[in-house]
Amino acid sequence: MNIFFRVFLSFFICFSLSTSANADEMIMVRSDRDFAETMNALQDAIDHHGYKVSKVQRVDVGLEAKGYKTDKYRVVFYGKADEIASLAKNYPQLIPFLPLSVAIFAEGDQTMLTTIRPRSFKALFPDAALQTTFALWDHDLVSILEDVRQSH
């Protein structure tokens, strides 16, 4: 990434964050669509933002197989192969938090999506060199969830 692109990126992120002014450490979004439709919308939005869904953990299937009552509940893991490889090499302390994930579960005929805001990683990993990555993830995640919320 050259200097000018990084500068542009910083400016872009500053603008994005200053206008959205996000604060809390978790984010939760409600979709009016049912679970299956929301799951499709989430995977499409992740793909549209340049990430790849690496796995969908079917938490509800495992629970039901063991006799526990649950509604639909999945965890969607996503990331970018090159980015994860680079971070794992240079910042191994991030490995337990990779790939990124979004939990998605049914709430009646609606669907909830929740995850930790990547910008809150700053408190966990204050290394200055990581903050641009966290801010980018945060920007993308908010956009992904907004796309899901608005999808019809």
Partner 1 sequence: MTSNSDLSACSSVQANPKPGMFKSVMNIQLFVFGLASAFFATPLLAVDGAALYVQYCNACHGERSGGGIGVPLTSPQNLIPDDYVRKTIRNGRPGRVMPAFAALTDEDVDAIVKHVQSLHGGKPPSYANTPVKGNLKHGKDLFAQHCAACHGDNGQGGEGTGVTLSRPRNLPIMAPALHNPGFLASANDQFIKTMLMQGIQGTPMISFLKAGLKEKDIDDIVAFIRHFEKEPISRTAIIADKVDPIISADSPYDLQTTIDNVKQAVGLNNFVFIREQTLDDGLVASGKNDPHQHIIYFCNFNLLSEALRTDPRVGLFLPCRITVVEQNGKVRMMAANPKRLSRLFNNSELNRMCDQMTKMYRTIMDDATL
Task: Tell me which residues in 70-99 interact with partner 1 (CB under 8 A).
Answer: 70-71, 73, 75, 77, 79-81, 84-86, 88-93, 95-99
> Binders of partner 1: how many residues, by CB under 8 A?
73
Binding string to partner 1 for residues 35 to 64, with x set by CB under 8 A, is what? -----------------xxxx-x-x--xx-
Considering only residues 102 to 131 of the shown chain, the ones binding partner 1 according to CB under 8 A are 102-103, 105-107, 112, 114-116, 120, 124-129
Of 117, 107, 112, residue with least CA distance to 142: 117
How many angstroms separate the CA atoms of 44 and 5, rounded? 27
Q: In whole angstroms, how far apart are CA 41 and each of 60, 81, 122, 147, 151?
A: 19, 22, 29, 8, 7
The least CB distance from residue 51 to partner 1, in Å, is 9
Kindly report the length of the chain.
Answer: 152
Whether 122 contacts 134, CB under 8 Å: yes
Residue 126 or 152 with smaller CB distance to partner 1: 126
